[in-house]
A and B are shown apart, each in its own frame.
Chain A
Amino acid sequence: MKAPAPETDLLEEADASLLDLVDHVLNKGVVVTGDVMLGLAGVDLVYLRLSAVLCAADRMLPPPDPKKR
């Protein structure tokens, strides 16, 4: 699994990392079409969910401390 670089500004939740990974391995890696066809049409939802999780993480940041101004 990917850990984001520690110095970057935003936290990435475990959930976001997992969704990110699933998005990569399911939605990309498109080179070969196998014999067995799967109904992967629903996997776009993974990306929507990923966006939702990322944005939720954003909102969880505490508001800036007014005393610092």
Chain B
Amino acid sequence: MAPARLVPAGAGRWLVAADAPLRRYAADVVNGRLSDLGWVGERAMEHERVVEHFTRRGTVIPMKLFTLFTGDEKAVADVRRRRGLAGLLSSLAGREEWGVRVAVDPGRLRRQIRERASRPTPGLTAGTGFLVQRQQEQRAVRGSLDDARQRADEVFAALASLAADARRRDPAGVEGATLLLDGAFLVERTRADAFTDEVRALARRHAPEGVSVVLTGPWPPYNFLTPSR
């Protein structure tokens, strides 16, 4: 990829652009490689490096990876046509995005419940006792999952109160482990320490219950480019 260059886009705004040779970036070439995660991943890192470089120097609206125009004029015209850019830029100024995920592993929960398990119910045969115990376990796991969901909601609320904006995405459920919260938070750079301290405190508080809290970031504000619903 050619070096990035700045293209004036009017109103004190600039496009960061780089020339993309057609033999590598024509639509059919890119489409053919989209399932190659190694290749896409390298392109993603290049894209991210450029976005982060400029994020440290001003307010950046990151474009989607593989946003391709046939020329500078087309790109500038597209940007000039957009409404609401001024509002978007001011909503992003001085802020960065943090990602927080809350997950629970039902298997881990079950092990914990088994360790804390009640003694065998007296007066039952070994077989019946086993079944009763399994039933109690299932019930306890369900209860713990409800509890974990509530914890995830509390984490979101606590962190949203420290953020300028917050988004929550419905996580894709995967059997065996459950992502309960996939949140993005737009945080003032000056409040980043307070925010990350709070995430760590929440992680410590919920870890003993089999609920993990994971922080990523800071990110460019990828999740805050569209108006909140």
Contact = CB atoms under 8 A, between A and B. Distances in A.
Interface of A: 1-2, 4-5, 7-10, 12, 17-22, 24-26, 28-40, 42-43, 46-48, 51-52, 54-56, 58-59, 61, 63-64, 66, 69
A56 B30 CA distance: 30
A1 B45 contact: yes
B63 A29 contact: yes
Nearest to B225: A31
A19 B214 CA distance: 15
B69 A35 contact: yes
9 cross-chain pairs, A with B, having the tightest CB-CB distances, nearest first = A55-B177, A28-B222, A36-B68, A29-B64, A25-B65, A34-B67, A10-B212, A29-B62, A51-B172
Interface string B24-51: 0111001100110100110011011001
Contacts of B79: 32
Secondary structure type dominating chain B contacts:
mixed
A25 B214 contact: no
A66 B216 contact: no
A54 B115 contact: no
Interface of B: 25-27, 30-31, 34-35, 37, 40-41, 44-45, 47-48, 51, 61-70, 74-75, 78-79, 82, 88, 99, 101, 103, 105, 107-108, 111-112, 115, 171-174, 176-179, 196, 199-200, 203-204, 207, 212-219, 222-223, 225-226
A21 B199 contact: no
A29 B222 contact: yes
Given A5-B200, A8-B203, A64 B112 contact: yes
18 contacts: A4-B215, A8-B203, A10-B103, A21-B45, A22-B40, A22-B41, A26-B65, A28-B223, A30-B225, A31-B63, A32-B63, A33-B67, A33-B78, A34-B75, A35-B68, A36-B68, A38-B30, A55-B174
A43 B34 contact: yes
A47 B172 contact: yes
Contacts of A7: 200, 203
Contacts of A51: 171-174, 179
B179 to A, nearest CB: 6
Contacts of B103: 10, 54-55, 58
